[in-house]
A and B are shown apart, each in its own frame.
Chain A
């Protein structure tokens, strides 16, 4: 039994260790979110709470940007929900590995299933079998890799909360005339450049950008939602065209 307990601990710590290098990329986003949230007029306590409730960096930055643009509740909710849709794919991807776990474990791991935690945890699942854990050498050991998953998720969660808090503290000292909220669209530009490797994605981005201007007069910034949906159609259509039209 104590062998199992020490293996749990080892798995958890291995997850923390393997997730650690990714925190270098997470901290600036968390801080930027905190700074941007204050600049957008969010109360600090609510911005911090949102990091626990939503726990999705890109969606939180999008919410901040749309609040800055004075968008309505519905367009912000729709856009953030659309942006987070990819988590269904992650959920499907890890499902076979966590299906045997008790519900409280599945609820906990689902809550922690972010981009960065998924990326590290799925690698562990795909490159090992149930009983060849980091330290488990005894054949027939129970599958304890969910402790590794928990280590990944916990590490990211802690970093996200702390970097949000750091951004809120730091942001409170930045004067409004510094235009610090401009850092959020700059982040989108950086991420866009990383994402635009294929033609279909470029088509989606171009149409969405043009759509954002074409539908700018729609109330509550609903034009943004329409632009994104139109961009999605363009992307899917361009991908099909590239596949069929050779």
Chain B
């Protein structure tokens, strides 16, 4: 992506995000948001993170490549177990990266 396109993207996302934040404070008088919006917002983060993680692990160059002989899926599995047991973001990143380095060394 060109730098100009990236600037445009960031300005647009920044503007949209600001409008979300300003929407009910300054733009619209009604503060009763529909129930479906609450329901939807609960699922946006898990759906986004799951899709991006799956894509980062198993999609390469627009093709699905589930290659279990590479270190990343296993490092991710170790990280998921640590995340589940510790509920700590830092411990998850730390052990995930350590597992990646170890597996790259071994495989």
Contact = CB atoms under 8 A, between A and B. Distances in A.
B44 A59 contact: no
A179 interface: yes
B39 to A, nearest CB: 5
Contacts of A42: 6
A167 interface: no
A192 B53 contact: yes
A119 interface: no
21 contacts: A46-B7, A56-B17, A65-B52, A65-B56, A73-B8, A76-B13, A77-B12, A82-B44, A85-B20, A88-B37, A90-B21, A91-B24, A183-B96, A189-B83, A190-B83, A194-B87, A200-B43, A206-B50, A209-B51, A209-B54, A239-B42
Given A63-B9, A81-B16, A190-B88, 20 more contacts: A59-B17, A63-B10, A69-B55, A77-B13, A86-B41, A86-B44, A91-B22, A95-B25, A106-B26, A182-B97, A185-B56, A185-B57, A189-B79, A200-B43, A208-B54, A209-B54, A224-B55, A228-B48, A228-B51, A231-B47
Interface string A65-88: 111110011001101111111111
**SS class, residues of chain A in contact with chain B:** helix
B92 to A, nearest CB: 4
Interface residues of B, number: 68
A89 interface: yes
Interface residues of A, number: 94
B20 A82 contact: no
B38 A89 contact: yes
B47 A235 contact: yes
A123 interface: no
Interface string A177-216: 0011011111111111111100011101111111111001
B107 interface: no
B69 interface: no
A186 B97 contact: yes
B44 A205 contact: no
B61 to A, nearest CB: 8
- The listed residue with most A CB atoms (<10 A of its CB), out of B36, B47, B48, B75, is B47
